[in-house]
Copies of this chain bind each other. A is one copy, B any other.
Amino acid sequence: MANQSLPLSPPKGMRDFGSEEMRKRQFIFDRLRSVFLTFGYEGIETPSMERLDVLTGKYGQEGDRLIFKVLNSGDFMKPVAENQGSGLESKQIVGLISEKALRYDLTIPFARFVSANRGTLSFPFKRHQIQPVWRADQPQKGRYREFYQCDVDVVGSTSLWQEVELIRVFAEGFESLGIQGAEIHINHRSLLMGLAEFLGFAERAGAIIGILDKSDKISPEQLVELLRKEGFTAEHLEKIEPILNWSKGGLPEHLSGSMLEQTQVAHGLRELSWVMEKCLNLGALPGGAKLLFNPKLARGLDYYTGCIFEVVIPGSGLGSIGGGGRYDNLTDMFGVPNLSGVGISFGAERIYDFLQQTNLWPDEIKSGLDYFFLNFDDSGAEIAMQFMAKLRSAGARCDMYPEASKIQKQMKYAHQRQANYVVYIGEREIENQEVGLKNMESGQQINLPWDQLLTHYTNHP
């Protein structure tokens, strides 16, 4: 056993990704990125760190606790010594020894970016951003301290075409990953707020939204029980019964007349109808995706003000794999008011889990190499290198065993590298100016004249 002088595992809640995982992760990011670009959402990146005061107070008290703070460089304790009265409690000195922190999400950095560059950006400004974020959460299955977020937003336009576009981005995105039948749920914050007000719960709208937000995870009885605790009477419950029992799908027709006249309710329904109608006019969504009105969809986050979205794959047992909505005042905190935006997020880590559990990965990423050349001796190796140079220029992934080791060992390695074909150039093959070619899946072996190996690739890329 080796003497392990240093720890070998990554820090708690963080992961190494090996080559097969990377192929799969890269597949997800590349496909989504392509879709985002066809819709005109160009890429941006922001630094991993932000100033601590940019992040603090944006994610609630719990969020603040989970932000990874970066220690100032140099003699970081000097300001503490100079402020001796300030005490040595963690809370008291954190601001003295740390002025930067790792980003907690992509939303606040994006808002800062837009505010910083408002003079040079063209509005509406459409962007996508695929970068890791960090949270000092207790790690558990599916929850990591470093994970990628994958966001798409447009700011500076109140047009509902943006909502229509983002619904199609969801559908095209999942289709590009080979995921069929995603359900895109839609609701409107005004509808929720208006209903709360209509029932006389305007001040507690936030709490009610919080309860509705759980509706997919609890039984209808538990939902009613929670609403009762919030003060809902039998009369209230009767009034919203059409909503509580609404099966996801088209817009509600059974809401009572007076409810529909409430200003916010009417506004929300008008916007939802417009968006859903325009989507319908564009024809079926790609990948068999469905757009469904879900009146119980709430989305926990405070900053949403218009349409809200959430995507699930029915039967996957995975919860939401995407979500988003319209917000109106994201850049206010940076001194840039009245910049409406709407954005969505793809839950890349959960999408990975779904593709993994269904093994929907395309064949192309199941293999690690197109051709693996066995090494019999130096003269064969030199010929192999010649072939590899040509094949690689044509885009083929090639490799050769670096030594003339036992063939069994080399074949095992070829197998571990997930090669599609093994190529061998022994004495006889050199004499005949041929290569031997073994299909690693079927086991079939053929001989090919030297001048046909490149054609073999262009015919079986």
| Residues of A that sit less than 8 Å from B by CB | 2-11, 14-19, 22-23, 25-26, 34-35, 37-40, 42-51, 53-54, 65-66, 68-71, 73-78, 80-81, 88-90, 93-94, 97-98, 100, 102, 112-113, 115-117, 121-122, 124, 126-127, 132, 134, 136, 146, 157, 159, 161-162, 164, 168, 172, 278, 281-283, 286, 333-337, 368-369, 381-382, 385-386, 389, 391-393, 395-400, 402-403, 413, 416-417
Contact = CB atoms under 8 A, between A and B. Distances in A.
A2 B46 CA distance: 22
Find the residue from A6, A14, A124 having the highest chain B CB count within 10 A. Answer: A6
How many copies of this protein are present in the complex?
Answer: 2
B136 A333 contact: no
Contacts of A89: 77
A157 B402 contact: yes
A66 to B, nearest CB: 7
Contact of A369 (B40, B402, B403): B40
Find the residue from A42, A46, A65 having the highest chain B CB count within 10 A. Answer: A42
A38 B413 CA distance: 17
Given A122-B417, A127-B19, A392 B116 contact: no
A68 B68 contact: no
Contacts of A127: 19
Contact of A38 (B50, B51, B90, B395): B395
Contacts of A381: 161
Contacts of A44: 16-19, 22
A400 B43 CA distance: 18
A348 to B, nearest CB: 13
Contacts of A15: 47
B17 A112 contact: no
Nearest to A386: B282
Given A50-B10, A400-B161, A71 B97 contact: yes
Contacts of A134: 48
Contact of A333 (B5, B161, B168, B417): B5
A16 B75 contact: no
Contacts of A6: 51, 53-54, 112, 333-335
